Amino acid sequence: MLLEEVDRMQRLVDDLLLLANAGHPDFIRKEPIQIAEFIHQVMEKIRVLGDRRWQIDETADYLMEADPQRLTQALVQLAANAVKYTGISSTIALGSRIEGPTAPDGSPLPVPRNDPKLPSLAVEASKGEVVVHAHNRAVVRAGDQYLKVLRKDWAARVAERHSNAIAPLADGFFDTPRILGTDRSVVAFNSLSGRSYYELGQDHAVTDAYFAAKWLEWSQAWVAALAASKRAAHRSALESLPPHPPEVEAETLRYWTRQWLNHSDDVPEAAKARAGLEAQAEAAISRLLSSRPDPPGWAHGDLHDKQVLGTEGNSTPGLLDFDESCQAEPALDLANLDVHLELRRLQNRLTLRRYVIAHSQVLAAAEKLGVSPERFAAYAASTRLRLVCVYSFRPLWGSIAARYLSQSPQGEHEDAASRQWSPT
Q: What is the pLDDT of residues 380-423, one digit of tens each?
A: 999 999 988 887 765 555 555 556 555 543 333 334 433 344 43
Q: Out of 53-62, 172-181, 414-423, which region has the weakest mean confidence (pLDDT)?
A: 414-423
Q: Out of 185-194, 210-219, 267-276, 304-313, which region has the weakest mean confidence (pLDDT)?
A: 267-276
* pTM attached to this predicted model: 0.70
Confidence band of 368 (pLDDT split at 50, 70, 90):
very high
How far apart CA 393 and CA 61 sit, in angstroms, is 6
Q: Do 379 and 329 contact (CB within 8 A), yes or no? A: yes
Query: pLDDT at residue 371 above 90?
Result: yes
Cα–Cα distances (Å) from 44 to 60, 94, 424, in that order, read 18, 11, 56
Helical pair 352-368 and 330-346, crossing angle rounded to 10 deg: 170
Thinking of the domain 195-419, which architecture would CATH place it in?
Alpha-Beta Complex (3.90)
Q: Out of 109-118, 182-191, 363-372, which region has the weakest mean confidence (pLDDT)?
A: 109-118
Q: Do 324 and 217 contact (CB within 8 A), yes or no? A: no
Dihedral sign (CA 148, 150, 156, 159): negative
CATH top-level class of 2-94? alpha beta
Q: Out of 44-58, 84-98, 110-124, 330-344, which region has the weakest mean confidence (pLDDT)?
A: 110-124
pLDDT given for residue 258 in this prediction: 87
At 22, give phi and psi (nearest 5°): -60, -25
CATH 3.30.565.10 domain residues, the chain? 2-94
Which CATH fold topology does 121-190 show? Phosphorylase Kinase; domain 1 (3.30.200)
Tell which wins on pLDDT, 364 or 78.
Answer: 364
pLDDT given for residue 267 in this prediction: 59
CATH 3.30.200.20 domain residues, the chain? 121-190
